[in-house]
Amino acid sequence: MKKIESIRREYGKTELLEKNMSPDPISQFDIWLKEVLEEKLLDPTAMVLATVDERGFPDTRVVLLKGFDHNGFVFFTDYQSPKAIQAEKNGTVALNFHWREFARQVRIRGQIKRISRHESEMYFSSRPRESQISAVTSNQSAIIASRSELEKHVTEVAKQYHEKNIPCPDNWGGYSVIPFEFEFFQGRDDRLNDRIRYLKLNNHWKMERLSP
């Protein structure tokens, strides 16, 4: 078995130069995401969401980006889940996109807030019916006795809403992360990576280069 300390690869010679980057990090993110989507990579919108719990301990999980613009980066979840409780109590979260095939990361820190109820309901109605049933069925992260108990509840909810529209649960909806900091990371050979950070100061973005 190969020793894990010996596992490494070179990232290539792709450059990340200030002169080629948009002065607006939202626009720069859009450029990078479009390049990823064109390659048809798996889970291109997957992002790590980092929060802090009531003890000050960090917590992470992968969620899916469902939209973004200058108003923020949107994802959906159960409002009673640990991620939601932690995010709302602290008010600040971090996101991390990792596109391995491009040797790229985008790190984001920002304030978090709920999107409107109408927006949450509109998105919920667009989800596959099975996903809607799962949202109604699951009390996310709560302890359950067994898988069979969960599946039984799913069957009961499916029967309850047979040939009926499934309403968006009150405890389910979207969040928007409003960034105040971005870092664009481009891996390069010999670990001399390019890192460009944007900081929002007085409603303007300041760009600066970080040491690898």
* Residue 184 burial class via C-beta count within 10 angstroms: exposed 0-12, middle 13-18, buried 19 and up: buried
Question: CA 137, CA 134: separation in Å to the nearest integer?
Answer: 5
Is 105 strand, coil or helix? strand
- For every residue of 122-166, DSSP letters joined together read HHHHHS-HHHHHHHHH--TT---S-HHHHHHHHHHHHHHTTTSPP
- Per-residue pLDDT tens digits for 170-182: 999 999 999 999 9
The predicted pLDDT at position 12 comes to 85
CATH class of 7-210: mainly beta
The predicted pLDDT at position 8 comes to 83
Is 23 strand, coil or helix? coil
For residue 112, the cross-strand partners are: 177
- Amino acid at the residue 100: R
CA-based max dimension of the chain:
59
- Per-residue pLDDT tens digits for 151-205: 888 999 899 999 899 999 999 999 999 999 999 999 999 999 999 999 999 999 9
**Token pair in block for residue 191:** 């670990």
The one catalytic residue among 107, 191, 195, 209:
191
21-59 burial, b for 16+ CB within 10 Å, e for fewer?
Answer: beeebbebbeebbeebeeeeeeebeebebbbbeeeeeee
Q: Is the per-residue pLDDT at 2 higher than 80?
A: no
**Can you give the pTM of this predicted structure?**
0.93
Q: With contact defined as beta carbons under 8 Å apart, do 93 and 87 qualify?
A: yes
Q: Please indicate whether residue 191 is annotated as part of the active site.
A: yes
Give domain limits for the chain: 7-210
Give, in order, the Cα–Cα distances in Å from 41 to each of 44, 103, 188, 194. 6, 13, 20, 23
The predicted pLDDT at position 3 comes to 86
